Amino acid sequence: MIVRILGEGQLRVGDDKLDSLNVLDKAVESAVESGDEAAFATALATLLDAVRASGTPLADESLEDSDLILPPSDATIDEVRELLADDGLIPG
């Protein structure tokens, strides 16, 4: 799957990483729901770090459609609240 981190670019992440990324996504969602800014910042950073670590960056000139779009590392809790779907930032 192709994951875009807004402001950074795209990465190819194996489908086998989806379950572990969903666990981290649930932590982001929980922090947003509770309004806990500190937990949110930590959870979002952990999720984005995991995507970066498990993904292979695509060339900047690549024009592939993104399967998932994640907020930038400096996103606010309110910005992410608006992006959240019923099943978090990462469906599944």
Pairing of β 68-70 and β 55-57: unpaired
Residues of the chain with pLDDT > 70, as a percent, come to: 96
At 91, is the pLDDT very low, low, confident or very high (cuts 50, 70, 90)?
A: confident
Domains of the chain: which residue ranges?
2-83
Name the 3-class secondary structure at 75.
coil
Burial bucket for residue 52 (CB in 10 Å: 0-12, 13-18, 19+): middle
d(CA 80, CA 59): 26
* Number of residues assigned to the chain: 92
Of the listed ranges 6-10, 25-29, 60-64, the least confidently predicted one is 60-64
pLDDT per position as a tens digit, 36-50: 999 999 999 999 999
pTM exceeds cut of 0.85: yes
pLDDT, tens only, 17-32: 999 999 999 999 999 9
pLDDT value at residue 88: 72
